[in-house]
Structure 1
């Protein structure tokens, strides 16, 4: 009898563990959002295996500065396994693709509906008939691990609904030190969050910052965390950082379609982690600089990893254009880009091409930069790699110094639209030296020094190595 009771108890325990492991969280949509921000190009449903389907709200997001288009976005949280059904509502489906391709997500098409299963958090682009401009973005988040108490005096709590600043001086929410800002998944904030001269600030949640002047400003601050939120179509930057240290940006999702609507731009910032973000921007997705405007000093100890970058215009990654020419210049060093999927790069101006770009101007010295485990899809127009010391008269007040000790490891690019990559110095005082290519493959073929149609090595360069040779 004891054994029977133990067996029944064990069975109930296993069932309870399984139920806890299978969770699906769908957030309410504020009433004022329902019609103005909905896109009916797709109908998206999700469910836990064996349970009824649940509808998601398909938000409208605008993409691509060249010709602004309306795309779609959905999001939810889950653990365990979730099944997804995506129906295209306009036109017949000929082909369907789920990117990044590196995830190798298997799907089944029945008529105009695509079915697939997820067992871990993913940020996806679902594209029917090769359409990358009016596609569906699906953000399957992990479950939140912390929901703070709204009554805690150290918490600024944005619950479900639409929130605007009370005094509206430029639509700003100013965040003091030692605060946790929580944005519920059913919350929409219409104003930027400003962290200026503060420390120990956390901005977390699953909600949306909607069409602000900028999404989040982090200036002259330290120990700031941004985790989990969505920034929808800001007028300018998504995250704007200046002269700050110990910044962590995790699970951020961003869309922009305006001029100079960069994703994450950090000026004179150090000790930064950018992890698991999805940036679709109509300017640089991630740009790291020295001095600019009121921010002085170099940039160092920065890691960007486990992320998806989509530049409808300009660079997915860019280093070094801006710096300080008042004296000896700035140094940007110890920077790593790791485990990235680059889904688009579209730039017709040769001065601003390059998925993996170092544009060294303004007396900057850029050194010890690693690009590793990066997969680049076919793109509209541009270059895979651009390493240049330059003097850009539009943005610089002086030439760059040197680019030194750059490593490209396990890089793959598949496509036919890339212009030749370039490595080029400017002068004896502005060299590119110490560049290593290790297992860099273009359409499956190992990159070699002699492939001038793929890589052009210009003047004032030294020690350009290829492994294996």
Structure 2
């Protein structure tokens, strides 16, 4: 059933659903998770456009949206040919940088005009004079066509929709056509074969006041199998954005996620098996990609995590949280077979609350975390810790005992930039309980061009941990019983 048929059946998701610009939600004892959006948007003029950047792709002007933390444009591509890009900047600047720098994109500058060729699938951040609050995010996405057999909900180009809470049942789909904006959230509960795709925007700013976090999980899927999220952009939610919970066989592909408020996690994989995240861009004002086992979206997500792969993603971790994180809530027996590979971390900003970092495992509950691999990771700006592995009891802990961390591999990790980040590996010990991270290997880890051969070289604090291996050399800290 397409959208027009849904409207005929009384399910009108157009701008006249409720009327007015503001309506009062029903009482909710937890204001962080309101029952309904606080606002509605009815016209594209209500979405601010960039006062600083004008963008042309292959000679065609693109819409550049504005927030107080970044400006952004979605460039949809129907073939693999490079795109000719011209950026016109309204004010003066001295230095321009294109990230990820690993792409080595050359550009020409003529006064306030910057020109370059955007490679296939490239998602880049243009940063002027090291100003991390006013970048231009140019996010190239592959065109996603609607299904030939039709879509359950079809949101059309040039339209704004206020859907509130849109639930997908088994076999249903939502298609966001390029150039549409869907305000609200899309979720499923005990539904299989669910699909959210297209090249439109799922907008979360309607869930919270501009300067306060809060909202609902924007694209969440609970107790389902065969889930696909592809091509869409999720913008300005005040809590977690894309969240599969207690699901199996999940693909999150070519998704752009941009948050600007604390708790705005990018992707939280909670109690899932067989999850693939690939070719995504995440600018998160908290964890970019996080693996957990906790009662969100629901209690069944407190289950084992297995067979997770995150690859070819570009990540920007703003002040709170971590870039690639396992933890804190790990209320299950086992987290295993996790691979992070071929990713560019363009920023990991300074948090200052002792938990922020680039490659992190925070085991604050009972899970055994093992068989985890970080490989071919390029890190351009690490203002917090590089590696942060801790077994601990903290404010997030609910289990009565701690778990373990072992068999962790860091291979081909390259840290550039002016800062040399510290690292920490720390175990847990009480009178009747001891848990020590072990069997942790560092193979070809380079910082500012130098290969690390020991914990000291890596500026790593090691406490209550042992069996650390650097390039074939083993450093043992013998446990004291």
Coarse TM-score class (shorter-chain normalised): 0.7 to 0.9
Where does the alignment leave 5 or more consecutive residues of structure 1 unmatched? 1-29, 48-52, 63-68, 166-170
Match of 2:466 in 1: 462
Question: How far apart are residue 399 of structure 1 and its match?
Answer: 4.5
Secondary structure of the structure 2 residue equivalent to 1:355: strand
Matches within 5 A, 1:153-168: 155-160=152-157, 161-165=159-163
Which moves more between the two structures, 200-209 or 347-356?
347-356
After superposition, the C-alpha distances for 1:177-236 in whole angstroms (9 at most, x for unaligned) are 112321101211011001111000111100000125332011111110000000110121
Change (3 A) 1:419 1:81: closer
Hey, what's the Cα distance between the residues in 1 that align with 2:175 and 2:123?
22
1:436 is aligned, of 412, 437, 441, to 441
Say which of 306, 322, 334 aligns to 1:315. 322
- Asked if 1:180 corresponds to 2:184, the answer is no
**1:346 Cα deviation from its structure 2 partner:** 2.2
Aligned-pair CA distance for 1:243: 1.0
- Scaled by the length of structure 1, the TM-score of the pair is 0.84
Given that residues 198 and 232 in structure 2 are in contact (C-alpha distance below 8 angstroms), is that contact kept between their aligned partners in structure 1?
yes
Q: 2:48 aligns with which of 8, 19, 37?
A: 37
* 1:257 matches 2:260: yes
Distance in structure 2 (CA, Å) of the matches to 1:305 and 1:196: 27
Q: How far did residue 317 of structure 1 move?
A: 1.2
Match of 2:184 among 184, 191, 195: 191
Contact 1:157 1:181 in 2 (8 A): yes
Q: List per-residue Cα deviations over 1:123-143 (Å, max 9, x = no partner).
A: 000112222220100012223
* TM-score, structure 2 as length reference: 0.82
C-alpha offsets along residues 323-369 of structure 1, whole Å, 9 cap, x if unaligned? 33xxxx52100000000111111243353122000001111110000
The secondary structure found in structure 2 opposite 1:34 is helix
Gaps of 5+ in 2: 1-40, 208-214, 474-481
The 1-side partners of 2:358 and 2:76 are apart by 30
1:450: how far off? 4.8
2:450 to 405, 428, 445: 445
Contact 1:420 1:452 in 2 (8 A): no
| 2:270 counterpart residue number | 267
Distance 1:70 1:272 in 2: 29
**Partner in structure 2 of residue 300 of structure 1:** 306
Q: Once the 2 structures are TM-superposed, how far is the Cα of residue 416 of structure 1 from its aligned partner?
A: 4.1
CA shift for structure 1 position 31: 8.3
Q: 2: distance between equivalents of 1:140 and 1:320?
A: 30
